[in-house]
Structures are given as C-alpha cells and as structure tokens.
Amino acid sequence: MHREILSLFVCLGIAFAGFGQNGNVSGTVSDAEGESLIQASLRLISNQDTLATITDLDGRYQFSAPVGQYTLSVSYLGMEGEQRSFRLNMNENKLIDFILSSSSTMIELTVVTGTTKDEEYGEQTVSIDILPSSLVENTIARAGEALNRIPGYQQIGNSPSIRGGSGWSAGASSRTLFLIDGIPQLSPENGAIYFETLPLENIDQVEVIKGATSSLYGSSALNGIINFRTAWPTSDKPYHRVTTSLGVYQRFDANLIQSKNDPDRRIQNMYEAWDYKQHVPVYFNQTYEHRERFKKIDFVLGAFYRHDGGFRKNNEYDRFRINGKIRHLHTSDEGILKSVSGVAWNFAYEEGGQFFFWSGLDSMALLPSDPKSPYILDARTDYIQRRMSLAPFATFYTANNGEHILQSKYYNNMSTNFGAEQVMTHHIFGEYQYKWSNE
C-alpha cells in the first residue's frame, strides 16, 4: 500500500514538473494609427509543432508552449506581414506586440499629369484615373485593350474617345493627347496616335485625365490626356522579365459559304488557300524587360515582337519594338541631388500585307478580290512602317527649391507601300520649364 502511494506522488510530481516547463507568449496586433486589428492570424512555429490563433476584439493573442526556439508570424488582409524569432524559457511570460503597416500602394501613388509636377494622388483637383502596371502587363500586346479597363474610355480602331468625345476621324487629328513621361506622342503628319509604338513593356503606371486641360497642354488635350509613365529601377538588384504568348485563330471552313445565285457553291471548297491544313493563322507575342542600377546610373531596356498570321488572307504582319532609357543622378558631397540627365529612345518596325477590296458577301469579308479583276490593280499591298524617336532630358535643382527642366525629342517616321512613293516625316520638339516652391 505504501509503495502504491509513493508511486502516485512520483507520477504527480513528474506531471507538475512537465507542466512547469511551459512558457507563455502574448501581445497585441495593431495598425500604424494604434487601432486594434481583430482576427489577425498568428502562427507559432517550432521544429516540432506549429500553433495557430487569431486576435480577439481588443487585438490581443496568447500562446502557451513548451521551452524551445520559435518563430512567431502574423498576417492580416491589406497589411504587411511580420515575424519574430525568439527562445521561450521555462515559466517565461514573453510579450510581443506587432504594429503592421498597410500593403496598399495606391495611397502612395504620385501623378504629374494634372499639374505637370509630382503630387500625391489624393491632392489632385481634377479627375484622374490611375492604371497600374499590373493591368497593363496582362494586355501588353495591345495598348487599347489595357486602356479599355478605364471607365469612360472607348476606342474604335485607332481613334480614342473619353466620355464620348473623340477626334475628327481616324488618322485625322485627335482630341485626346497621348504623352510618354510628359512628352507629346501625337504624330506630326496627321495628329494621330500609333499605339504600336507605345513602350508597354516598361510602363510604371498610366494616368488618365477626363476633361479639357488645354491650359496646360494645348489644343490637342481638348478631351483629355493619357500619360504613360515608364519605370525606373527601384533597387540595386537587376530586374528581368520575359513573357511569351501563342494562339491560333478559329478555323475558317469554306464549305459554309452560301450563295443565293449559286447554291452549289456552299458545298465546294472554293478557297483552297484557306483550308485549315494549308493555312494555320497563328499569332505570337514575345516581350523582354530589363532594369538595373549602376551606382548613380539607371538603365532600362525593353523589347517586343509580334507575329500575326491574320484571320483574313493577305492581312498578316510582323511587328518589332525596342526601347530604353538611361539617366545619371549627380549628387553633392553631402548626398543632395543636384541634377538628373539622360536620354530615352524608341524604335518600332512593322511590315505586312493588306488589301482594300474584298471578294463579296459570300467570302465573309475574309478574302480579297480576284487580282485579275479590272476594277483593282492588285489584291495585296505590301507595306513597311518604321518609326523612331530620341528624347534627351535634363533637370537641374537650385538652392531655393527651384527646378530647371529641359525636355526634347526628335521623331522620324518612314512609311512605304510597295508600288507607291515613300513618305518620310521629321519632327523636333523642345520644352523648358521652371518650377519653384515656397515650402
């Protein structure tokens, strides 16, 4: 009997000793303004086990765990997660408080389009929509598809429209001004915008002003402004990105063609060149991005290639674009920025085929007219388009919070339709701004 009682006391002693080897971890989770975060998720991780809990209505949490080495992590929707590593000792009450910061970047956005200077998004006095780079990257082959995500924007062909106001006609001026880093991009020969030249692979954000801003940008901005701001390196670590996409147009079945004048045509394969086994209309996109910082020099490079076999005969094309920019940041011995100078460049090339007359209603507008027809000279016209620009820039900072801003651009456009004359356009743009602040 005495031996059984002694064994019972020994077992109870071991149990209480094991319980006494635990420690407690507790604390609170709040945001930068001191507000408690309810139901924030916490995980206490060790080599043997993982414990999890959430915060209560006061933002408090508590764990009871054995002695050992732990990592405590916290996460909350819309907040940047944090983690702490520590050792928990016997009977220790460890207090760990977390103050989480917001992970939203929209609040920190700055825009320049509304007043031609960097200001916080919330301080703008005009209606401005911001299209982040993440949405542009998903439709990098076509600028119009990305801009269609903005409420109030429409595009028919290459004619942009904001809130119903558009240019006179396609290829004949535009009431919407397009900018790249504040430099106008409308072509000098007809005032139109060539979307295929826009460097979408290096876009940081797109700023859209809905409404007249002619007082700042001239008569070309009667209906609004779309400013493409390109990206710069944000760290010393190089950034690379390669994307590829591939697709095939739906099969064209010539046997479905019907004609009231000749019902038998619908069962004849009249256009063997469009038989699926002989012609596979494929489209292919390839993009490349590179951003890197070399001490006080920032370098950006982008490239884009697209092949489009077209869903219409004689309407295929190949498109190539390469762009980049480089800048030097000059600072004083005290680390104060004194000047920024650099140059941006863009080269776009396209060649392909097109036709004007199509064969008729029974061709479903997919086939050109017979080249032997007396009404046309040829069913196919081959073309080449080459557009290039060079844009040097410089900004000098003075002691009284002043800025001397110099922007310039040389633009060259060459367009050739085989069998016709070559068209060449040159354009030079220059601008000087002086800004100062009393702050």
Q: What is the pLDDT of residue 19?
A: 45
Among residues 177, 211, 230, the one where a domain terminates is 230
Average pLDDT over residues 156-160: 71
Q: What is the pLDDT of residue 251?
A: 60
- For residues 125 and 187, which has the higher predicted lDDT (pLDDT)? 187
Residue 244's Cβ-count burial label (10 Å; 0-12, 13-18, 19+) is exposed
Confidence of residue 122 (pLDDT cuts 50, 70, 90): very low
Q: φ and ψ at 224, to 5 degrees?
A: 145, 180
On whether both 376 and 272 belong to a single domain, the answer is: yes
On whether both 85 and 226 belong to a single domain, the answer is: no
On whether both 200 and 149 belong to a single domain, the answer is: yes
Q: E strands within 355-422?
A: 381-397, 403-417
List beta partners, residue 197. none
Confidence of residue 376 (pLDDT cuts 50, 70, 90): very low
- Which has the minimum average pLDDT: 110-114, 296-300, 390-394, 397-401? 110-114
Q: What is the pLDDT of residue 226?
A: 84
N-to-C CA span, the chain: 90
Q: What is the pLDDT of residue 310?
A: 80
Task: For 8-49, write each residue's pLDDT tens digit.
Answer: 444 444 444 444 578 899 999 999 888 889 888 899 998 888
Q: What is the pLDDT of residue 193?
A: 78
How far is 360 from 353, CA to CA, in rounded Å?
Answer: 19
What is the secondary structure of 139-156 as a DSSP string? Answer: TTT-HHHHHTTSTTEEEE
List beta partners, residue 301. 290, 324
What DSSP state is assigned to residue 423? E
- SS3 breakdown of the chain: % helix, strand, coil, rounded to 5? 15, 50, 40
Among 372, 366, 362, smallest CA distance to 262 is for 362
Q: What is the pLDDT of residue 104?
A: 52
Average pLDDT over residues 266-272: 46
Among residues 183, 206, 230, the one where a domain terminates is 230
Q: Is the pLDDT of residue 171 over 60?
A: no
On whether both 30 and 152 belong to a single domain, the answer is: no
Q: What is the pLDDT of residue 48?
A: 82
On whether both 95 and 113 belong to a single domain, the answer is: no
406 CB-near residues (< 8 Å, 6+ apart): 392, 393, 394, 395, 431, 432
Confidence of residue 270 (pLDDT cuts 50, 70, 90): very low
On whether both 391 and 247 belong to a single domain, the answer is: yes
On whether both 374 and 264 belong to a single domain, the answer is: yes
Among 340, 322, 323, 318, smallest CA distance to 331 is for 340
- Tell me which range, 122-126, 128-132, 226-230, 246-250, is most confidently predicted by mean pLDDT: 226-230
Q: Tokens in use for 357?
A: 């007359």
Q: What is the pLDDT of residue 131?
A: 75
On whether both 226 and 262 belong to a single domain, the answer is: no
| Conformation bin of residue 386: beta by default, left when phi > 0, alpha when psi is -120 to 50 | beta
Whether residue 11 lies inside any domain: the answer is no
Average pLDDT over residues 320-336: 87
Q: What is the pLDDT of residue 389?
A: 93
Q: φ and ψ at 362, to 5 degrees?
A: -75, -5
Residue with tokens 């005032």: 191
Task: For 205-241, write each residue's pLDDT tens digit.
Answer: 888 887 666 556 665 666 778 888 888 888 888 999 9
Residue numbers of the domain that contains 29: 19-100
Average pLDDT, the chain: 76
SS3 71: strand
- For residues 152 and 163, the answer to whether their CB atoms sit within 8 Å is yes
CATH number at residue 50: 2.60.40.10
Whether residue 9 lies inside any domain: the answer is no
Whether residue 249 lies inside any domain: the answer is yes
Confidence of residue 187 (pLDDT cuts 50, 70, 90): confident
- Tell me which range, 74-88, 306-320, 409-423, is most confidently predicted by mean pLDDT: 74-88
Residue 372's Cβ-count burial label (10 Å; 0-12, 13-18, 19+) is exposed
82 CB-near residues (< 8 Å, 6+ apart): 73, 74, 98, 100
How many residues appear in the chain? 439
How much is the pTM? 0.63
- 3-class SS string, 27-61: EEEEECCCCECCCCEEEEECCCCEEEEECCCCCEE
Q: Is the pLDDT of residue 262 over 50?
A: yes
On whether both 62 and 189 belong to a single domain, the answer is: no
- Which has the minimum average pLDDT: 50-54, 171-175, 280-284? 171-175
On whether both 47 and 110 belong to a single domain, the answer is: no
- For residues 367 and 109, which has the higher predicted lDDT (pLDDT)? 367
Q: What is the pLDDT of residue 138?
A: 62
Average pLDDT over residues 93-105: 83
What is the enclosing helix (H) or strand (E) of 13? helix 2-20
What is the enclosing helix (H) or strand (E) of 353? strand 337-354
User: HSE-up of 197 (CA within 13 Å, CB side)?
Assistant: 25
On whether both 169 and 125 belong to a single domain, the answer is: yes
**Other beta carbons less than 10 A from residue 334's beta carbon:** 5
CATH number at residue 195: 2.170.130.10
Q: What is the pLDDT of residue 388?
A: 94
Whether residue 12 lies inside any domain: the answer is no
Confidence of residue 127 (pLDDT cuts 50, 70, 90): low
Q: Tokens in use for 89?
A: 């000792």
Q: What is the pLDDT of residue 115?
A: 47
How far is 97 from 79, CA to CA, in rounded Å?
Answer: 15
Among 410, 392, 305, 408, smallest CA distance to 348 is for 305
Q: Tokens in use for 77?
A: 């929707």
- What's the total number of domains in the chain? 3
Q: Is the pLDDT of residue 245 over 80?
A: yes
Whether residue 405 lies inside any domain: the answer is yes
- Which has the minimum average pLDDT: 125-139, 175-189, 392-406? 125-139
Whether residue 296 lies inside any domain: the answer is yes
Q: What is the pLDDT of residue 139?
A: 58
How far is 366 from 165, CA to CA, in rounded Å?
Answer: 32
How far is 220 from 198, CA to CA, in rounded Å?
Answer: 18
SS3 265: helix
Q: Is the pLDDT of residue 256 over 90?
A: no
Q: What is the pLDDT of residue 16?
A: 42
Q: Tokens in use for 192?
A: 């139109």
How far is 105 from 146, CA to CA, in rounded Å?
Answer: 20
On whether both 379 and 430 belong to a single domain, the answer is: yes
What percentage of the chain carries pLDDT values higher than 70? 66
Among residues 100, 132, 164, the one where a domain terminates is 100
Residue with tokens 């069962």: 267
Task: For 335-362, write each residue's pLDDT tens digit.
Answer: 778 889 999 999 999 998 876 655 555 5
Residue type, 248: V
- For residues 247 and 282, the answer to whether their CB atoms sit within 8 Å is yes
Q: Is the pLDDT of residue 322 over 90?
A: yes
Among 134, 155, 136, smallest CA distance to 144 is for 155
